[in-house]
Amino acid sequence: MKKLLIVLFVLLAANTWAQSKPDRIEPMFWWAGMKNPKLQLLVHGQHIGAYSVRLNYPGVKLLKVHEVENPNYLFIDLEITADAKAGKFPIVFMDKWKKVAEYSYELKNRDLSPSRIQGVTDKDLIYLLMPDRFSNGDKSNDIVKGLAEHKLNRDSMYYRHGGDIQGVINHLDYLKALGVTTIWMTPEIENDMPLASYHGYAATDHYKIDPRYGTNELYKTYVDKVHAKGLKVIKDIVHNHIGTGHWIFKDMPMKDWVNQWPVYTQTSYRDEPVMDPHTSQADLKKQLDGWFVPTMPDLNEKNPYVQNYLTQNHIWWIEYAGIDGLRLDTYAYNDPAYMADWALKLKAEFPSLSIFGETLVNSVPAQAYFTQGNTANRGFDTHLPGVTDNVLKSAVYETLNGKSGWVDGVFRLYNVISQDFLYQDATRNVIYWDNHDMSRFYSMIQEDINKYKSGMALLLTMRGIPQLYYGTEILMKNYSAPDGLVRSDFPGGWAGDAKDKFTAAGRTPQENEAWNFVSKLALYRKNNPALQNGKMMQFVPEDGMYVYFRYLPEGNGKDVMVILNSEDKTKVLDTSRFAERMKNIHSAVNVISGEKLNTVKTINIPAKTTLVLELN
């Protein structure tokens, strides 16, 4: 009987140990030498909140242990002093005098090599892709047991198709040949949701790459391989919301981890209340705190625990993988004060990191309102360098599809650029004509190849950081509604595809015409400083023609003249009014065709055409 009691006691103790040990500590490791010495660990485990915490490691101070509403959590505040060294140390969880669990925590050395975290600037060309729809490089991870979505269906836009990180790695040479310098994938972290989990914007684990894309280690390998090719990486992150399948949402530390409403309340999707000096506080709250959709709970960014969790997670990924830039999803829906503080904290750790926010707004002042330097309008600095230039995109469509009027057609484009004074630096904005949420460019211009070339010429010669959506270079088409075909697979990314459009042989003659046009101009841009970070001078459109120049003030670059004829007939341009930029210019070369213009006093511009000329 005594032996039986001993056995039962040992089994009970073992079971208690198993129930009590933390099942998560996040961040799971950290680095010595961070500018901010403070670190807050989130600890999750069954009834872990009942225990005290001990640790003993030189340079690491235990400042405070926070118990919260949910007894399955502890938040541990640490200070990692400047003299702390890399190494492992135990975090011990105590029940009064008895140790019940131990976690081996590690501080690593930072990788401070200059080739990491290069930043993304107007010298670059960004290529946006959805990893699930680009290429399937590893069939073994197509279906992962235990996840909510457990089938592959390439015939549906709402299920997984099997693309992954290895598929992107396999096509780095294709992207480099195209003239791309930077790759932006839609979020790669785990989205364990039952439907439409492929897009990545409903996170269920902030510290884990979705297993259908690969592993954390593979993601780091991907960044290293991209850098080895001379390219850069942008990571897409979401502050505003998570997925209902997120492990934290299923067992929240406190009720106000997400914004709560008496009844479900969706955001208004209106940015105006954020900037309106006459705004209703109810409208402002609905915009900022309303949920994006029912499956995406809105994070309460006023909660300091949420703030620490998100900020540390983003720092963790940058330091872990060596990412060059961040794209911030749904920027206008976030708490403004937190986002400003977040930007300062990230810039302190990574001064060369590039950041731009998604702002799908409808005016230049609205876009500029969110960018840094507008303290007079906001009362504080957002510290956000740039935004996605949605207003410029709309102006380009008006230019290509509309008819010239006092404020219409090509004048809309001129007008938008003329308002660049509202930004601290408009060249930090990302310019684009389509993305994963919008109808594709080729469809929006009625599949007109001349309009396509004009649009691509504008994209690759205007001020700002150009972004190309995957497949635009091969004339992929379709509209965002009703079937979401703008997110179709890249042909050739899957074994057995009828055509492999990653190769010239797999493309039609017109697709090759488009691909070659983009590649030639992108590679030219890559080697001409005037198009990378040169100044821009534009002239008031006349007779349906819009002219601007890209040039270096020092006069030691290859100046470029861009001429857009928006009309339906050939025009002859008299260049005498451009003497400011052409005083000593006697000839030019057509960048695309290679044709030399022995005189530039007058230039013939075909209908619906944009010429890109290098001036001599």
Cα of first residue to Cα of last residue in the chain, in angstroms, is 101
Report DSSP letters for 219-271, one per residue.
Answer: HHHHHHHHHHTT-EEEEEE-SSB--TT-HHHHT-SSGGGB---SS--B----S
- Cβ of 216: how many Cβ atoms within 10 Å? 16
CB 171 within 8 A of CB 179: no
In the chain, the amino acid numbered 150 is H
Burial of 572 (0-12, 13-18, 19+ CB in 10 A): exposed
Name the nearest CA neighbour of 55 among 79, 33, 34. 79
Residues 6 or more apart whose CB falls under 8 angstroms from that of 525 comprise 125, 179, 460, 461, 531, 532
CB 501 within 8 A of CB 511: yes
Classify 43 as helix, strand or coil. Answer: strand
Is it true that the peptide bond before 27 is cis, omega within 30 degrees of 0? yes
Longest dimension (CA), the chain: 109
Residues 6 or more apart whose CB falls under 8 angstroms from that of 152 comprise 142, 143, 159, 160, 161, 162
Q: Known catalytic residues?
A: 329, 358
Name the nearest CA neighbour of 427 among 309, 550, 333, 561. 550
Q: Which two tokens stand for residue 462?
A: 């205007």
- Distances 505 to 105, 500, 502 between C-alpha atoms, Å: 53, 8, 9
Q: Residue 48 has what DSSP assignment? A: G
Residues 6 or more apart whose CB falls under 8 angstroms from that of 180 comprise 125, 126, 127, 231, 468, 522
Classify 22 as helix, strand or coil. Answer: coil
CB 66 within 8 A of CB 74: yes
CB 474 within 8 A of CB 507: yes
Helix axes 304-321, 336-349, angle to 10 degrees: 30
Q: Which two tokens stand for residue 109?
A: 């050395």
Distance of CA 588 to the CA centre of its chain: 38
